[in-house]
Amino acid sequence: MTPRTLVEKIWSDHVVTIENGGTDVLYIDLQLIHEVTSPQAFAFLRDRGLRVRRPERTFATVDHVIPTQGAIPARTDSPQGEMIAALQANATKAGISLWGTQHPNRGIVHVTAPEQGLVRPGMTVVCGDSHTSTLGAFGALAFGIGSSEVAHVLATQTLTARRPKTLEVRISGAFSLGVTAKDIALEVVRALGTNGAIGHAIEYTGPVVQALDMEARMTICNMAVEAGARTGVIGPDEETVRYLEERPRPGESETAPIDHAKLFATDAGARFDASATVPIHQLEPMVSYGTTPAMAAPITAEIPGAPGPAIGRTLYLNALDYMGLKPGTPLQGLPIDVVFIGSCTNARISDLRAAANILQGQKIHPGVRMLVVPGSEAVRAQAETEGLHEIFGRAGAEWRRPGCSMCIAMNGDRLQPGEYAVSTSNRNFEGRQGPGGRTFLASPLTAAASAINGHLSDPRDHL
């Protein structure tokens, strides 16, 4: 038997039919939906007189547009209200489980689905959101799709798809103090470039990866798409099983048994289409300072005069111009206005603990506005049990309700034109966090340290 990769094994386990030219019909075990990319999909089904084939394989949550403070808009209050109401109506009509505005499981889709035990090794999982790659941390094949494909999966529980090529990214070395999974994720994107992994699923390998807990693995897989990859995966192991054994299935009092037959792993000697090694023994806390995540550098660096791998010079100069930055300027000390701790990249309990560890007994800079947005109601409850919200509050930060919030700025949480933010999210495209907003991407540790000083800061000075 030819040695195969994890991706190949999951793929062949889910192929329904093989077509000429390499486009297969692929069965989808789980579809996650949210209020931004599903309305048009349900409308499409209505127009065609189609019903949802497997409501029990579909879970819905409200995350992108929901406010993190104040009242939830009603249907007629605003477009956001209409979107939330549409999801409510669509899910109810189709018999789809909805973790709606008052539900205790509600949260950012890629935070709540895994913590509620929905994502398991060997599954195919889709969602109308590119950061579905996050869920590859469980050894599942999880990828983002558009609204048309959301409709296709609702109607048939399948998609037409070509198997992606595979790129092994081997992380070598060891963690230093103050360096986190987010820093590794940023370094991978920097090293590969914005389009370095196009057409590929990244499998992250090596002892460093195997030593990470599930939340750290999710952070790394989350940002695979920023290097152009279709998704990221990490082979399941004892840590995966341990995490899942603690997750009750929604509506059930006991955990579902782990299907060990689905703990697919890449065989020794399996051939990847491409490979890269990303060494981390000298890795420092990273900051993405440009208008694409790949424009990243260590916190101790100066803004480079020339762009990194695969970034065109014109793009680079335009990015510096948009960000109001000059080559040669040290990153440390760049003044900031806002700090955002949140998003599907870094809003889990370990991320909040990391930030709280730095903010304990400290006050944020008077010129800084800081939002801490837990990734889900469950994370919020856990954080409050541990008193983290009090640490944030005493420091002068705002403790909010769960949601995507300022990552995508669709719910009123946004930057004003020209404001600089340190954000634990995954994208710093022009205007992503608000028209004219300028985003530095970083880890929760770096974000917390920067909030105290009012400028980009090395978190190791605070540890």
Partner 1 sequence: MTRQSILKCRVIPLLWDDVDTDQIVPARFLTTTTRQGLKNALFAEHRARARASGTTFIIDDPEHHGATALLAGRNFGCGSSREHAVWALAQHPIRVILARSFGEIFRINALKNGLLPIELDEATHATLSQETQCKASTGIHVDLEMMTVTWPPHPPVSFRFDPFYRHCLIEGRDVLDHLISKTIEIDAYEKKRLSEQNADSKELT
Under the criterion CB under 8 A, does residue 245 sit at the interface with partner 1?
A: no
- 433 in Cβ contact with 439 (< 8 Å): yes
Under the criterion CB under 8 A, does residue 39 sit at the interface with partner 1?
A: yes
Distance CA 435, CA 450 (A): 23
State which of residues 97, 172, 195, 362 lies at the interface with partner 1 (CB under 8 A).
195
**Between 299 and 311, CB nearer to partner 1:** 311
Under the criterion CB under 8 A, does residue 17 sit at the interface with partner 1?
A: yes
Distance CA 31, CA 59 (A): 7
Under the criterion CB under 8 A, does residue 162 sit at the interface with partner 1?
A: yes
The footprint of partner 1 on residues 302-341 (CB under 8 A) is: 311-312, 314-315
**Smallest distance from the beta carbon of 36 to partner 1, in angstroms?**
5
- Residue 297's nearest CA partner among 176, 448, 192, 183 is 183
Under the criterion CB under 8 A, does residue 156 sit at the interface with partner 1?
A: yes
- Residue 231's nearest CA partner among 322, 156, 129, 118 is 129
Under the criterion CB under 8 A, does residue 441 sit at the interface with partner 1?
A: no
What amino acid occupies position 195?
N
Q: What is the per-residue binding string for partner 1 in 94-123, x denoting contact by CB under 8 A?
A: ------------------------------
Under the criterion CB under 8 A, does residue 165 sit at the interface with partner 1?
A: no
Number of residues that bind partner 1 (CB under 8 A): 65
Stated length of the chain = 463
Under the criterion CB under 8 A, does residue 25 sit at the interface with partner 1?
A: yes
**Smallest distance from the beta carbon of 229 to partner 1, in angstroms?**
8
Under the criterion CB under 8 A, does residue 255 sit at the interface with partner 1?
A: no
Helix (H) or strand (E) holding 27: strand 23-27
Under the criterion CB under 8 A, does residue 79 sit at the interface with partner 1?
A: yes
CB burial string 287-317: b at 16+ within 10 A, e below: bbbbbbbbbbbbbeeebbeebbeebeeeebe
Kindly compute the dihedral angle of the four CA atoms of residues 368, 374, 379, 385, in this order, to the nearest 10 degrees.
30
How far does Cα 345 stand from its chain's mean position? 4
Kindly compute the dihedral angle of the four CA atoms of residues 183, 300, 207, 216, in this order, to the nearest 10 degrees.
-20
**Smallest distance from the beta carbon of 158 to partner 1, in angstroms?**
6
Under the criterion CB under 8 A, does residue 73 sit at the interface with partner 1?
A: no
Distance CA 432, CA 410 (A): 10
- Helix ranges (H only) for 95-213 are 109-115, 147-156, 181-192, 207-210
State which of residues 108, 118, 137, 145 lies at the interface with partner 1 (CB under 8 A).
145
**Smallest distance from the beta carbon of 157 to partner 1, in angstroms?**
7
Where along the sequence are the contacts to partner 1 (CB under 8 A)?
Answer: 16-17, 19-23, 25, 27, 36-37, 39-40, 43, 48, 64-65, 78-80, 82-83, 86, 128-130, 144-149, 151-152, 155-160, 162, 194-195, 198-199, 225, 228, 230, 257, 259, 261, 292, 311-312, 314-315, 408-410, 427, 429-432, 435
